[in-house]
Amino acid sequence: MTTTDDKGREYDERPWGSFTVLDDDMFDHKVKRIIVAPGKRLSYQKHAQRGEHWFVVNGHATVILDGVEHELDPGDSIDIALGQAHRCENRGTTPVVLIEVQHGTYFGEDDIVRIEDDFGRAN
């Protein structure tokens, strides 16, 4: 369930961790802080109306793009093209913290096609 944090920003807890919307003022981009808990992973998903750029702030992230694994550490980043299948996994013992910049024409949570999901939410 989406709520707000102590600064009034959109915040949502998910089975894999949480996200906070840092900026959603412009029509062409949205910025989130995503926290992936140890041992958890996002659904393997794609988007029809947005691409994403992930910047790792903390932890060691395993990012899968179209079936290819990429290992990212703090300071590393990766681009996810519109329609590209992707997921972030946290195989470590500390939280993975990402800054996600979404760019495109629509940023709603309903623009997620889940290909595979550990929590029974696949389309």
* pTM of the model as a whole: 0.91
Residue 117 in any domain: the answer is no
Confidence of residue 1 (pLDDT cuts 50, 70, 90): low
∠ Cα 3 5 49 (to 5°): 60
Residue 116 in any domain: the answer is no
pLDDT at residue 9, rounded to an integer:
86
Per-residue pLDDT tens over the stretch 10-23: 899 999 999 999 99
Domain count, the chain: 1
Its sign, for the CA torsion 69, 17, 5, 109, is positive
Residue 123 in any domain: the answer is no
| CATH number of the domain residue 9 falls in | 2.60.120.10
Compute the distance between CA of residue 20 and CA of residue 12 in angstroms, rounded to an integer.
7
Per-residue pLDDT tens over the stretch 3-12: 988 888 889 9
Domain hosting residue 48, numbered range: 2-109
